[in-house]
Amino acid sequence: EEHRDGIDLYYAHVQLLSERDLQRGCGAEAMRYWAEEVSKGSSPAGDSRASQVKSGTHLLAMVPAPVFESPESWRIIGQVPTGVRVIAMDLPRVVEGYLMVPIVPSGAVELTLFREPERPMPEVQLPDADALKAAIDG
């Protein structure tokens, strides 16, 4: 604290979190890619690329990407090497500022570390929870 001309002045300490800055740097390019408006198939024009990711969508890792236990977890359970595909299990969602997507068979990845593959793969038809339970129960 400092006093100048009868006015109390306070010092602030600012921590720069450039690796989490989604408006500049490498994070900005990734967020632009997924926020980009695209028209694909039966989707209306104006939908973002991220909104078209659904269960069965193939995603290609652009950099080594950690696999988290769940979209809300910070516990890393694996790693996806660069160039390897994963399959989305559900819709992406923002969790604490990160665009996360659950993947098959388990876990979740940060969507901004992935892109849509240039060569399309057939969509994978995933069984729903009831079908899985029925298969396990026999």
Q: Could you give the dihedral angle defined by the CA atoms of residues 112, 114, 115 and 116, in that order, rounded to the nearest 10 degrees?
A: -120
Identify the band that residue 40 occupies on the pLDDT scale cut at 50, 70 and 90: low
Q: Report the share of the chain in percent with pLDDT over 90.
A: 46
3-class DSSP state of 130: helix
Distance CA(108)–CA(106), nearest Å, equals: 7
The secondary structure element, H or E, covering residue 132 is: helix 129-137
94-114: average pLDDT: 93
Average pLDDT, the chain: 82
Q: Is 52 exposed, middle or buried (0-12, 13-18, 19+ CB in 10 A)?
A: middle
Q: Is 103 exposed, middle or buried (0-12, 13-18, 19+ CB in 10 A)?
A: buried
CB 110 within 8 A of CB 27: no
The per-residue pLDDT for range 41-89, each reduced to its tens digit, is 555 556 889 999 999 999 999 999 999 999 999 999 999 999 999 999 9
Q: Is 112 exposed, middle or buried (0-12, 13-18, 19+ CB in 10 A)?
A: buried
Distance CA(69)–CA(43), nearest Å, equals: 31
